[in-house]
């Protein structure tokens, strides 16, 4: 089977590209924005992802497109108009690729979306479901929701199968961003005022996400479905930090501060978003994914976080 993967320079795309190269009977073409030495697959340089990108060379003779390239969520976005930039890449760029894919007789288009399409936060015990109404809040989530709607319209008009996958925070080897910052704090033994946090959050190890994406390549029941994915284990922030510490062979140092005070301080210093991710809940119900695809996570959180500390490889 011939597969086109976009975004092979990214965290998810890089891990997925390596897994696809190792899979039998898959002929991979990967699009990249800079050279990737560890990939043996055919690669095509694509610098811009927008309404004008010409995908004719990349799409030639392909069977499936896995679209992992995106303008990702940026904590400190210095773009003059962030929403315009998100739409240019994540909406216009995605739909342009999908229209050309349909015209090239691509059978299936797998879109890596985000749980931000559902929203930013849940109440404990009231998780998001795959078929919930979209309620994105930030620009990134809005752009992913608009792309999903456009893909469903293209599928209806052309018959090309579309599979949408919405992960929460993805972690694993070479992880960056907020997860990496927490790892650094735990590694340094910094005391953290989070002992009173009783939230519940879903995460997904990169190995589990990659395995689900590969499952969706040719699973007959995946066609035209939306799937949520996680490790199937919801953790409080203290449990998350404790898992990181154990993986590093260290002790976690937490002390109690009332959540109301932490939230107030976060607002005052302009860190409300970061505080919500540490103090609030975000749970996913993945029962649809398990039932429809007869799929299960291949590793648990404990193994997933241990793999964060494997010897780094450049992806």
Query: Where residue 150 falls among pLDDT bands split at 50, 70, 90?
Result: very high
Q: How high is the pLDDT of residue 47?
A: 78
Question: 60 and 48 in contact (C-beta within 8 Å)?
Answer: no
Is the pLDDT at 132 greater than 90? The verdict is yes
Please answer whether residues 66 and 6 qualify as being in contact, where contact means their C-beta atoms are separated by less than 8 angstroms. Answer: yes
Q: State mean pLDDT over 215-243.
A: 96
pLDDT category at 314 given cuts 50, 70, 90 is: very low
Q: How far, in Å, CA of 208 to CA of 297, rounded?
A: 5
Split at pLDDT 50, 70, 90, the class of 313 is very low
Residue 311 has pLDDT above 80, yes or no: no
**∠38-315-108 over CA atoms, to 5°?**
90
What's the pLDDT score for residue 118?
A: 97
Residue-wise pLDDT tens digits, 242-275: 999 999 888 898 999 998 888 888 888 887 778 8
Q: Please indicate whether residue 140 is annotated as part of the active site.
A: yes
Percent of the chain with pLDDT over 70: 95
Res 309: pLDDT: 84
Mean pLDDT, range 14-39, rounded to an integer: 85
Residue 147 pLDDT exceeds 80? yes
Q: Among 86, 129, 140, 156, which one carries the catalytic annotation?
A: 140
**Strand pairing report for 234-235 and 201-205:** antiparallel
More confident residue, 186 or 148: 148
How confident is the prediction for the chain on average, in pLDDT?
Answer: 91
Residue 315 scores a pLDDT above 50:
no
Pick the CATH number of 2-173+203-231+283-299 from 3.40.50.970, 3.30.530.50, 3.40.50.300, 3.40.50.720: 3.40.50.720
pLDDT top residue among 38 and 302: 302
Q: Are 23 and 31 in contact (CB under 8 A)?
A: no
| CA dist., res. 205 & res. 243, Å (int) | 13
- pLDDT of residue 218 exceeding 80: yes
């Amino acid at each position: 089977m011939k597969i086109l993967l976009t975004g092979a320079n990214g965290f998810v795309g890089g891990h997925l590209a390596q897994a696809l190269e190792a899979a039998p009977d898959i002929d991979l073409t990967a699009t990249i924005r800079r050279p990737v030495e560890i990939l043996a697959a055919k690669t095509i340089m694509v610098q811009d992802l927008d309404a004008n990108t010409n995908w004719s060379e990349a799409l030639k003779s392909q069977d499936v497109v896995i679209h992992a390239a995106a303008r990702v969520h940026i904590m400190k976005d210095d773009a003059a108009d962030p929403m315009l930039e998100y739409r240019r890449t994540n909406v216009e760029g995605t739909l342009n690729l999908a229209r050309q894919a349909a015209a090239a007789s691509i059978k299936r288009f797998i879109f890596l979306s985000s749980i931000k399409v559902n929203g930013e936060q849940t109440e404990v015990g009231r998780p998001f479901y795959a078929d919930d109404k979209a309620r994105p809040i930030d620009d990134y989530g809005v752009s992913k929701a608009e792309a999903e709607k456009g893909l469903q319209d293209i599928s209806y008009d052309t018959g090309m199968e579309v599979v949408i996958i919405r992960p929460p925070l993805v972690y694993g080897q070479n992880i960056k961003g907020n997860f990496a910052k927490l790892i650094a704090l735990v590694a340094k033994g910094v005391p953290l005022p989070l002992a009173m946090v009783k939230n519940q959050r879903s995460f997904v190890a990169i190995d589990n996400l990659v395995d689900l994406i590969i499952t969706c390549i040719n699973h007959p029941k995946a066609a035209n479905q939306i799937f949520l994915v996680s490790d199937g284990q919801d953790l409080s922030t203290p449990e998350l930090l404790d898992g990181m510490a154990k993986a590093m062979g260290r002790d976690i140092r937490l002390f109690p501060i009332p959540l109301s005070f932490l939230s107030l301080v976060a607002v005052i210093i302009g860190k409300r978003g970061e505080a919500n991710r540490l103090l609030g809940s975000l749970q996913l119900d993945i029962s649809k994914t398990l039932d429809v695809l007869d799929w299960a996570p291949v590793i648990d959180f404990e193994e997933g976080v241990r793999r964060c500390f494997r010897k780094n490889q450049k992806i």
